[in-house]
Structure 1
Amino acid sequence: MKTVTRLALVGAVILAGAGGYFFGSGGLHVPGGNGVVASAGSAGADTAKPAKKLLYYRNPMGLPDTSPTPKKDPMGMDYIAVYEGGADEEAAAPGQVRISTQKIQKMGVRTEAAQLRMLDKTVRAVGRIEPDERRLYTIAPKFDGYVERLFVNVTGQAVTRGQPMFEVYSAELVSAQREYAIAAQGVAALKDAGSQAQTGMQQLAQSSLLRLKNWDIS
């Protein structure tokens, strides 16, 4: 009975030692094999991280051109793969500022390829139009009278130099015109008269003409 008990104890010691060696070495070696067949401790450490989802391939020069498959740009440069979350995690290069896609969309940023063309855009906004005060003129006749007819009767109507704007009647103007006409006829009639008579009539004609000029009548 004692011999059986001793054999059982020796067998237990041998199994315990074998088990400790197995777990301490990290696996089971098969004779003639190439290495570890199984390892409980390394199973969790060797678990691979989940791969990021490929979104698209973008132009290497920053142009708004993407491709679902790898390709090259016209200069032979490979398109850059963009992964999910990769743009936000990628650090900006020195001297550069990186803005997230959400902020770019909120700011309304638009990019286009550089090219030679006219830059124009229709902008609809509320404004106020005011006339150029340097080109405004006030017409104030220098004689008494009244307007008989208007040729420009709409505010803002365009006019040109020399265009008639209105017709006026003035008793003073009519009197001065008749006085000048009579004096001019007298100068012509007295061309054969004496010098004193001609001089007096010429002075009368000149004074009548000067009166009209002072009223800006030509």
Structure 2
Amino acid sequence: MKTGAGIAIGLAVALAAGGGYWLGQRPAASHPEPSVAVATTSVEGMKKERKLLYYRNPMGLPDTSPTPKKDPMGMDYVPVYEGEADDEPAAANSIRISTDKVQKLGVRTEAAELRALDKQVRAAGRIEIDERRSFAISPKFEGYVERLHVNVTGQPVAKGQPLFEVYSPELVSAQREYTIAAQGVDALKDAGSEARSGMQQLAESSLLRLRNWDISEEQIRALAKSGASKRTLTFRSPVSGVVTEKKALQGMRFMPGDTLYQVADLSSVWVVADVFEQDIAQVRTGA
């Protein structure tokens, strides 16, 4: 009985050893481990779920392609799959800004509402005189400044207000010539037509010279009425405004064309503003 049991035990050990040797000699690929097989199946499933959308330019240019291709530099276009995060705005056809950039740009958000959309344009500017309302007082003859009625820059003046008085030998001579010619016309009214016509032409030429020198009609009428020439002539403001420039000094000599005063009408002025190019479309008359 003991001998038979020992033989049975020895035979079982021999069979176990032989079976282990046989299993060890079989190829490993024919017996994949369960965990490896599951992992492989999961990866294959993920690959099958990915859907190719298009290929984008590798340099971020706004160019996409449905098929693989290369850019002019020989670089391959990058594939973009569905659900894949893409930081290239050209590939996603949208603008994506990171949180850091949003904070640096100062982007603000608010609730949507129905209202008129407008924009305020702020620009640095300066006030300037309307060039069409600026007048220069420049005598057309040589003379001297005898007296100043307005002697401060920035002083407001009314139209017709005296500014200064001048003395000019040429002006005195022209006045005497006109008064003599006017008196001669009256004296020769009963004379022959030729003599009366010559004196009339002399009076008209003298009167034209005074008018060319900007002598007012009121002063000419006073000269014709009195028949006596005046030593000085008063220059008056041609417009109501403010004296913006004063070069006249009492006793100074001036030459024809010298600007002694400049008066500007400030009832309407210009605003000259420097507007950026991108805001030019927002600037309109009356806006």
TM-score (norm 2): 0.34
Structure scoring higher RCO (CA < 8 A, sep ≥ 6) equals: 2
TM-score (norm 1): 0.42
Higher strand share goes to which structure? 2
